Every structure is written in structure tokens, then in C-alpha cells.
Amino acid sequence: MQGTLTTVELLFFDKANEPIHLDRAEESIDAAREVFEKAQASHYIAMVDPLLATIQSRHDAL
């Protein structure tokens, strides 16, 4: 669910160009990583870093 929220926030950012959506996306993916690590869900953990890189890239472009 948190990964989906991250994607939604990135889409909102793309539409509105409001940095708050990047902050929310980062909070969501950080929460997701915590859950994935506790569950030892390596497949999902591997999906976190690319999303974080996307968020950081968009932050840097502001």
C-alpha cells in the first residue's frame, strides 16, 4: 500500500509541481521499506531504492 501511495504522490507532483508531494512520497516509501525489512520481503525491498532515486532526482531538479 505504501508503495502505491508513493506512486500516487509522484503523479500528483508531476501534475502540480508542488514539492510537498515529493516529501509525502518519500515518507511513504520509507514506511514501506520498514515494513518490507521486517517481513524480509527482499523482492519489495529491491523496489524501494529506484523509487527513492526518482524522488531525489525530482527534488534535485527543483
What are the pLDDT tens digits along the chain (62 aa)?
A: 677 899 999 999 999 999 999 999 999 999 999 999 999 999 999 999 999 999 999 999 99
Using alpha carbons, list the distances in angstroms from residue 49 to 15, 17, 19, 29, 45.
Answer: 23, 22, 20, 9, 8
* Cα Rg of the chain, angstroms: 11
Torsion of the alpha carbons at 3, 7, 28 and 61, rounded to the nearest 10: 140
Domain positions in the chain are: 2-60
